[in-house]
Structure formats: structure tokens, C-alpha cells
Amino acid sequence: MGASLIFLVKLLTSDLQGPVAELIVKGINKDFPFPFGWVSGYLAIIFGAVMTFVVQSSSVFTSTIIPLVGTEVISLERAYPLILGSNIGTTTTAILAALASPASTLQDSLQIALCHLFFNIFGVLLWYPIPFLRLPIYFAESLGETITTYRWFAIVYVVFCFLVGPILAFCLSIARRSVLLYVGLPLYFVPFLIVYLHTFNVLKLFPLWIRDLKPWDDLITNLLPAPGFFSPLNTNPRYPFTSSIPAPPHPYLPHNHNSFG
């Protein structure tokens, strides 16, 4: 699947340029006029849910959205409600399967399917309606900026989230209650501690290798046989596929500015 995404991004990179990119960017990322701009996000949620219901797979829909975000055709702010809608739409598969179950197990299977549905709905209600609670967008932007500078961090992130983290959680789940109390509880508060130290600018009191990835980057770069393998990605211009789109005239900006910065 990873190789498919790589080739799909390369294909979209070559195809989505010039007038095609201009048309798609203006159509997908456009909001309704004031004061109905907030409706655009909720329509994107509905669209994501409907499309996921049609293809009966949130993985297919999400795998289509990710390359479009990678090529910056769809903005991160627009992809966020689309993926939230996809999480709601994917529950329809379980509901249909529950409705097709025998009468003896219909009630239990439908109850589990509805729990899945309402769990995702309440997740959307928690992380989307209030703008400053849309933390996944902030975390995604921060992680993207970090990986742009330190490409090896993407491998560390994947290994930790999909290998180390689940194994640690499994080990804590089968351990004694005392182990869960003295090991799991402190680990739970580590993210809150990091946010607290960062908010009050206390991290500068720690050694550089704790508060910055640069020493680790130097170490990994020196250990690699090919020094340029994890070189920083080129991030200029910000929107490489749409930077040539002319912007409408603006009284306070120069005439040669573009639409995206």
C-alpha cells in the first residue's frame, strides 16, 4: 500500500499542474460566502461519509485523500472534515452486516454496530465544531514541519505508534495492577508534562539533546553510509503545484503576488 501511495503521489504531481490544479483547488477548497462559511466543513463531513458508504471502505477514501493533500491540491483544513466524515461512513458496513445477522443475534450485533457509529459521531462533535479544539490539524502541521526538516523522524514515528506503543500497551494490560499503576499512570501524564513545559518555556533548561532533534539528526546523518539520504525536503515554494496561479488584485499587496502566499 505504501508503494501504491508513492506512485499515486508521483502521478498526481505530474498531472495536477496549471489550469487543472487551479480548477480543483478553487473548487474543493472554496468556502461559502460569509456568514455561511462554517457550512462548508459540515458538507465536507457529509460528502466524506457518503463517499465512504459508496465505496464501502474508509481506507480507499482516505488513501485517495492523502496524495491530494500531499500534492497540496486539497488543503489540510478541508481534508480534516472529509476524513472525519469517512470515519462515520465506514460504520455503515458494520450496520449492514448486523442487519444481515440471524434473529437470535440481531440485537447484540446491531447494538455493537450502533456503538461504533455513535462513538465516531461523538468524536466528530468533540474535535470539530469548536475551532480551537481542532487539535489534529495543529498536530499534523507540527509533525509535517518536523518530518520536512528531519526525514528520519517519520520512520521513528511509524515504529513507535504501530509497533512500540501497541506492544507496550499490551504488556501493561497483562501485567499486574501494581505495574500498571506505577508504570502506565506516569506514562499517561508524559504528554501533558511536555505540553506544560513547552507552554511555560521551561524546556530550555534541559540539555539540547532532550529539547531538540538536531543532535539526533547529526548522529543519524553521521552513521548513515549515504549522508544525503535523509536530507531536508525542499519546502519552497509552499504550494509547488499552484504557485503559478495568479491572484486577484489586492489594494495592499504587490501586483505580482500569487494566491497562496
Grid coordinates given for 238: 509552499
Q: For residue 228, what pLDDT is reported?
A: 61
Q: Where are the domains of the chain?
A: 1-134
What are the cell numbers at 99? 442487519
Supply 33's cell numbers.
460566502
pLDDT in tens, 10-25: 666 666 566 666 666 6
Rounded CA-CA distance 216/256 in Å is 41
Which has more pLDDT, 147 or 184?
147
Mean pLDDT of 115-133: 92
The CB density around residue 137, as the number of other CB atoms within 10 Å, is 15
Q: Give the span between the Cα atoms of 217 and 239, in whole angstroms.
A: 26
Residues making up the chain, counted from first to last: 261
| pLDDT of the residue at 258 | 46
Banded pLDDT at 226 (limits 50, 70, 90): low
| Rg over CA atoms, the chain | 23
What string of DSSP letters covers 63-131? HHHHHHHHTTSS-HHHHHHHHHHHHHHTHHHHHHHHHTS-TTTHHHHHHHHHHHHHHHHHHHHHHSSSG
Q: Which residue has the higher pLDDT, 237 or 184?
A: 184
Closest CA to 127 of 65, 69, 85: 85
Across 12-26, 49-63, 119-133, 196-210, the highest mean pLDDT is recorded for 119-133
User: Per-residue pLDDT for 203 more than 90?
Assistant: no
pLDDT tens for each residue of 47-77: 899 989 988 888 888 888 887 787 777 888 8
CA distance 143 to 37: 27
Measured CA to CA, the distance from residue 88 to residue 94 in angstroms comes to 11
When pLDDT is cut at 50, 70 and 90, the band that residue 256 belongs to is very low
151 pLDDT exceeds 60?
yes
The residue that leads in pLDDT, 254 or 127, is: 127
Say if residue 193 is exposed, middle or buried (CB neighbours under 10 Å; 0-12, 13-18, 19+). exposed
Torsion, CA 48, CA 54, CA 60, CA 64, rounded to 10: -50
Q: What confidence tens digit (pLDDT) does each residue in 230-239 have?
A: 666 554 444 4
Q: Is the pTM of this model over 0.85?
A: no
Chain centroid to Cα 141, Å, comes to: 8
Residue tagged 480507499 (cell numbers): 60
